[in-house]
Structure 1
Amino acid sequence: MALTLLTALAAAVTVTYCFPAVFQELENNGNRTSIKFLAVGDWGGLPYPPYVTAVQKTTANEMNAVAEQMGADFVLALGDNFYYRGVDSVDSPRFQETFESVYSAKSLRVPWYVLAGNHDHAGNVKAQIDYSLKSDRWKFPSYYYELNFRIPNTGKTLTIIMLDTIVLCGNSDDFVDEQPRGPAYAVEANRQLVWLQERLARSRADFLLVAGHYPVWSVSEHGPTECLLKSLRPLLIEHNVTAYVCGHDHNLQYLEESGVGYVVSGAGNFLDPDIRHWNHVPKGSLKFFTGQASTLGGFVHAEVTKNKLILTFFQATGTSLYRTVLSQREFR
């Protein structure tokens, strides 16, 4: 009897870890051999007329230009989707005023995979999730979730794990303190962390990205997030994650540390040149930073090919500022 029970438990564990991934379908595969996407954070306009900022509009225009020229299969929306207190219901006019009417170009009418930021959690995040049922491009199925893609005509795969770092670490009041003050519900935070550990452990993706709102490393106003340094960073290193992508600080940054790339793309609506945490990241890890008002905003374009991930950082004034190339994962 005991042996039978152990066998059943082992089978259950095997099923849990080997459950086949659901792959997102890309349009117009044809002879393509890459996946392309944009990553933009902190793009959430204003809660009063005109509901958008000059930086948001200029950045949206350049996102359209880059998507038309270089291609974009989807957009990663990295939180703080609606300033300053999120939305109150699924019928909020902010969805139209700050999202639909701003990113209206044809090249941006692709799936937007969304996660929540601290300002979203000041409102009703469930309403943002429910808006997925009202929009043909707003994709926000849960507080945290996994995306899987086949890189066309290569046999290679890309996985993006979308986290809720506010559930994980707690909220922060940007006007009072910089660091999250601990999860509101420890059980929910632990549930997400266990889920993440399982997903990372079983992933055989050739390129594995993790996305959240809070940064692991940042030289700017908010600085490194202590909670993520303790809970997330060791997992990124252990499982050879390609890169971590986030927002929160209102600028563009790229850092590399212990084999992981760290992308900060939080320049979608405001700009901040603050570098108060310049000496609080590992020496030599910072490769690129800009937060100057003259850039008029910014975002990141990513292309995942058969054997590399190409990241290009764009300013809204129409030029690329920095490019880096990351290799596919090696399994130990």
Structure 2
Amino acid sequence: MATLLKKPMLLCLIFAVLLQMGLVPAAAELRRFEQPAKADGSLSFLVVGDWGRRGRYNQSDVAAQMGIIGEKLDIDFVISTGDNFYDNGLTGVDDPAFDESFAKIYTATSLQKQWYNVLGNHDYRGDVLAQLSSILRKIDSRWLCLRSFILDSGIAEFFFVDTTPFADKYFDDPGEDVYDWRGVLPRKKYLSTLLKDVDSALRDSSAKWKIVVGHHTIQSAGHHGNTDELVTQLLPILQANSVDLYINGHDHCLEHISSSDSPIQFLTSGGGSKAWRGDVKWWNPKEMKFYYDGQGFMSVQITETEVDIAFYDVFGSVMHKWGVSKQPHSAF
């Protein structure tokens, strides 16, 4: 009898270990973290994407300006929209690229805050489990990277979504690139579970502001353009649940598109290092509020009644500002 009891216990233990390692997809609801707003109820953060090039392609210059603006705005945290390490992610938790592209680059005092990171397609070309590992958090406590998760600040909730597995081309026509799909396969089940979890979390959210973060574009006039799979699968969920902002990287530019059929603002911050693609697709001028085919980053400031965004170039100059207001929650 004792032997019979040991087998299921052993299987459960093995499954738990594999789940922790990311070797099987998690079917549980999205993991939640808390990032309290300041005492006055405000929140401030920077967004940078597509950056990890050991300081090259002006990455160090962008980082320096982030430090200056971060201090000026008294930021609470930083969001990375993915493609954290070029060209092929990390080789492991001991890859020097983590130090050379992250720890030794973002050294300003104001940037010694929590970094909330999502994975990009280039990150999936390396050891994905390394970026997700708690070992990196021990090396640099700022680092927090999960596939998908929720960040709750009270006045705003952030829904970080793992967008790379949505794109068919990485599976159907990867060319010479090799992707690390551990924890994603079987893909259909992974995406189905993720979409249900995001939809449920957004529906249950009572936050004044709902912000979704992913690596890939939904609407963009840049080099990559729209990600069709996200347009058909994720966008309807965002529209149905009154999402305010969708923030992404992938296109190496700074961009603001205002949706014509919903309140969603599409914000691209993918200018953390190599940029200047030189190919821009036509977009309806009524929707295209700003496009800059170059390097830089974005700031977001939030209160219960207002959201204000700004885009900065590599010199720290403000290139575009935009804001929106909402009525405060009723006390009754």
Q: Normalising by structure 2, what TM-score?
A: 0.81
The Cα shift of 1:170 comes to: 4.7
2:45 corresponding residue in structure 1:
37
1:242 corresponding residue in structure 2:
244
Residues in 1 aligned to 2:309 and 2:298: alpha-carbon distance in whole angstroms: 7
The yes-or-no answer on 1:266 pairing with 2:283 is no
In the alignment of these two chains, the number of paired residues is 291
Change in 2 beyond 3 A, CA 1:23/1:278: same
2:195 corresponding residue in structure 1:
193
1:233 corresponding residue in structure 2:
235
State the 4+ residue runs in structure 1 displaced beyond 6 angstroms: 173-177
Residues 2-38 of structure 1 deviation map (CA, whole Å, 9 limit, x = unaligned):
xxxxxxxxxxxxxx99x99753245xx44x3310000
1:66 corresponding residue in structure 2:
69
| Match 2:291 to one of 277, 289, 292 | 289
Change in 2 beyond 3 A, CA 1:126/1:187: same
1:83 corresponding residue in structure 2:
86
Write out aligned runs for 1:1-332 (5 A).
Answer: 23-25=34-36, 29-30=38-39, 32-45=40-53, 51-130=54-133, 131-140=136-145, 142-150=146-154, 157-170=155-168, 172=170, 185-257=187-259, 258-279=262-283, 284-292=286-294, 297-328=295-326
Residues in 2 aligned to 1:80 and 1:225: alpha-carbon distance in whole angstroms: 16
- Aligned to 1:278, the other structure's residue is in SS state coil
- 2:263 maps to a residue whose letter is G
Change in 2 beyond 3 A, CA 1:291/1:21: closer
Q: Contact 2:223 / 2:251 at 8 angstroms: preserved in 1?
A: yes
Change in 2 beyond 3 A, CA 1:114/1:20: closer
The Cα shift of 1:198 comes to: 0.8
- 1:254 maps to a residue whose letter is H
Change in 2 beyond 3 A, CA 1:305/1:62: same
Q: Contact 2:148 / 2:162 at 8 angstroms: preserved in 1?
A: yes
Change in 2 beyond 3 A, CA 1:22/1:253: closer
Residues in 2 aligned to 1:175 and 1:270: alpha-carbon distance in whole angstroms: 22
The Cα shift of 1:329 comes to: 8.5
Change in 2 beyond 3 A, CA 1:22/1:104: closer
Residues in 2 aligned to 1:20 and 1:166: alpha-carbon distance in whole angstroms: 19
Q: Contact 1:207 / 1:328 at 8 angstroms: preserved in 2?
A: no
Q: Contact 2:32 / 2:149 at 8 angstroms: preserved in 1?
A: no
Residues in 1 aligned to 2:327 and 2:129: alpha-carbon distance in whole angstroms: 34
Change in 2 beyond 3 A, CA 1:330/1:214: farther
- Aligned to 2:206, the other structure's residue is in SS state coil
**Which segments of 5 or more consecutive residues in structure 2 lack a partner in the other structure?**
1-27, 177-183
Change in 2 beyond 3 A, CA 1:220/1:21: closer
Residues in 1 aligned to 2:33 and 2:255: alpha-carbon distance in whole angstroms: 32
Residues 93-128 of structure 1 deviation map (CA, whole Å, 9 limit, x = unaligned):
111110000001111000000100000000112101
1:4 corresponding residue in structure 2:
none
Residues in 2 aligned to 1:128 and 1:170: alpha-carbon distance in whole angstroms: 23
The Cα shift of 1:135 comes to: 2.2
The Cα shift of 1:272 comes to: 2.4
- 1:145 maps to a residue whose letter is F
Residues in 2 aligned to 1:25 and 1:70: alpha-carbon distance in whole angstroms: 16
Q: % of aligned pairs identical?
A: 29
Q: Normalising by structure 1, what TM-score?
A: 0.81
Q: Contact 1:220 / 1:278 at 8 angstroms: preserved in 2?
A: no
Q: Contact 1:255 / 1:285 at 8 angstroms: preserved in 2?
A: yes
Residues in 1 aligned to 2:31 and 2:144: alpha-carbon distance in whole angstroms: 21
The Cα shift of 1:176 comes to: 6.7
Residues in 2 aligned to 1:64 and 1:201: alpha-carbon distance in whole angstroms: 36
**Which segments of 5 or more consecutive residues in structure 1 lack a partner in the other structure?**
1-15, 46-50, 151-156, 178-182
Q: Contact 1:208 / 1:329 at 8 angstroms: preserved in 2?
A: no
